[in-house]
A and B are shown apart, each in its own frame.
Chain A
Amino acid sequence: MAVVFIMPVYVMVITSLKPIDEVSLDRMWQLPTSISFESYKYAYERLAPNLLNTIYLVVPATILSALLGSLNGYVLSKWRFKGSEWVFTFLLFGMFIPYQSILIPLIEFLRQIGLYNSIGGLILVHVVYGIPITTLIFRNFYAAIPTELIEAAKIDGADFLGIYRHIMLPLSVSGFVVVCIWQFTNIWNEFLFAVSITSSGSQPIMVALQNLSGSQIVHWNVQMAGALIAALPTLLVYILVGKYFVRGLLAGSVKG
């Protein structure tokens, strides 16, 4: 079974390293006779601007949605008010909706505020629709921090922001790591918003990859090289800090 799971990666790698005259249907499983990087060169030339677009999108969107989620999680776990549980459920619902059900008004709205077909528009979209998941993860994370700490600080006269800055934030490092990895992966890989909100100039990498593989003239070795280039950043993150990725996965699916 493990072999079956690894097989697609093997095929991706060997196909992407083949020179064009070796890419034939009947030799698909054979190792390349000589290693060639020409498909990478070609795919990278095609995808480089989109790779930059995705980086411009992912970095601010990840940071902003993590900060928002942290604040919300702090409020919903340590400053509960009448109806705060109801507020949490109200936010959580947004995590599960099919985004098709908000797409038409969303595009109208972005056109009106002049952010349609821009990375800025995509950042806004990912920050807003990231609120439920980041709030959920942080709320569960902060629930584990003893309330006595907060109570003691309140007696010492610390206020909402003071407690957040001096007590919560220093304890939030691993929470931020989990949320940032999770959002980074999700936003990097997202396709529906990317393909409906942007066109040629500002398209993120996944849209460009889809266009590359959708065109009839592009050979398989280039497609596989493109897929590897597009997948590499999130794959690296998983290989380096997969533990946190899985933690985010579990935190986002089970109530803590």
Chain B
Amino acid sequence: MTASQPGPLANNVSGTEVSDNAAKSVRSVTGITVRLAGDSGDGMQLLGTQLTNTSALAGNDVATFPDFPAEIRAPRGTRAGVSGFQLQFASEEIFTPGDTLDALVVMNPAALVTNLGDLRKGGILIANEDGFNDKEFKLAKVESDPLESDIINQSYRLVKVPMTKLTRAAVEEHGLSAKNADRCKNFFAMGLVYWLFGRSLEPTLRFIQEKFYKKPDVVAANEAALRAGWAYGETTEAFGESYAVEAAELQPGTYRNIMGNQALAWGLIAASKISGKDLFYGTYPITPASDILHELTKHKNFGVRTFQAEDEIAAICATIGAAFGGEMAVTASSGPGIALKGEAMGLGVMMEMPMIVINVQRGGPSTGLPTKTEQSDLLQAMFGRNGEAPMPVLAPRSPADCFDMAIEAWRIAAETMTPVMLLSDGYIANGSEPWKIPEMDSLPKITIQHPPATSGEEPFLPYERNENLSRPWAVPGTDGLMHRIGGLEKEDRTGNVSYDPDNHQHMVQTRAEKVARIADRIPEQDVLGETSGDVLVVSWGGTYGACHTAVSRARMDGHDVSHAHLRYLNPMPRNIGTLLKSFRKVIVPELNAGQLRMLLRSEFLVDCIGINKIKGKPFTVGELDDAIRSHAAPARKSKAG
């Protein structure tokens, strides 16, 4: 992936007029960042998803950031109940949902006051005028109508639209109740946004028909609202111009838009297929991991068995049971659930049983911020078990990367006979981006061999090891291989219970060495920029996009800055130590208090500077950009990334 260009700069809307449509002109821009915000019942997530899909289908690169309250329906109209969906779509390759907003759509005063700070000066502010009344002001705790304030009118391009009234009028003929008619107003807003950014209505019209096919009156009303919103943009004098974002130049291929959890689920299914295994998924519902279960359970025809357990512990124990039986076994949770799974993970390590443990991280500790993102479970993943219990740890860097890393996790687990931890996070899980659909033949086969039946005359050695130090995966039902495994220390080779002190040290070291040797079977760390120099930015997980974009910008401006993004955290790629020692400064941005930094320092004795944000929010490119430049040497002449 290359990214020599900075992110799309709708902030510098200075494109050329490409057409003159009646009184309106269309301005061509490289990208738009828009946020839709309203009450959690207003359908903002649906609106955002539709705009994302439509933009992706138009060939734009897209990146999204849904942000919603932990409460299912926080009190209506209050600041706590505001649900938002941010989206960047662009004619260039992008890696983040954007920093400052070019446009903000708000359905009520609470959405306005909680989101306005992110709208750039001169940006478009579209407000549902009908949502701004005394009752709503009170709920949002604002003194008077903010839309009347001079500051707003002078700083932004405010467009007040009586959406509720216009929607009611548009759907009147379809005979819906007032309540149901009002529920169509997100489609009105959608139509207006689509007009403003030159989006086609077709994909959303198709969506409406598929989604509500059982209710023809709802289909008709939603369609009417969508078209009315579009027509309003076209006819009203409120907008001077609309914007066009051309298709992005992506690698040739067939694309679809994909969310992180969906990509994880599909990657797991693909991994099971290319390894000739059925998939067993044992889990207990938890935000933000539950959507993996929801997705997997739709695909039982792939041989997928999903088990919604009575608790997190039962979920992972069933997963180990399925692995013992010889299937591809996976469990997933978020931090608090992973904490409960700790003891069973240790058993999996001791039994040397292949499986995947997925942690879709969220804000912690304890229940923390269930719907907000954080990267604070890295040390838990590394060390959150009793005893010496090393586990490989992998982390996807983006929604689409979840597909590849799910397959990679299973390859490592099966090859190594070990549980593998896959660290996603809420930002990746709910975010989406275009995914180039892989050619089936390009997916590397995973070959798994179970030892065959024997006469049983020779004793079977369940802990005899191959060149990867992996033990054989002998499955019940195979004659002659009967053996017992468990959590008591095992004698080398025979697998019998052993308290022998030397054997224990040998087994502990062997299990560690087995994991360490995975480094021989993973790619070396790649770097954006030079492999030595002034500043190296080291990141992991969902911060990839922001770090990549910020480093690219700094490089454009002539700073000697490189970027290494780790997808393999345990073991790390073999060249990482050399890399760290080849720069004057190492900067580690993380959404935690410095966990990767701690690992790098302790492992490689290289000092690292942390950029640490623990606000339940992803990095913006801007804040990383500032931080990186503050550490970098003065810029030399500009160079390409």
The answer to whether A and B assemble together is no
By a beta-carbon cutoff of 8 Å, the part of chain A in contact with chain B is none
B interface with A by C-beta (< 8 Å): none
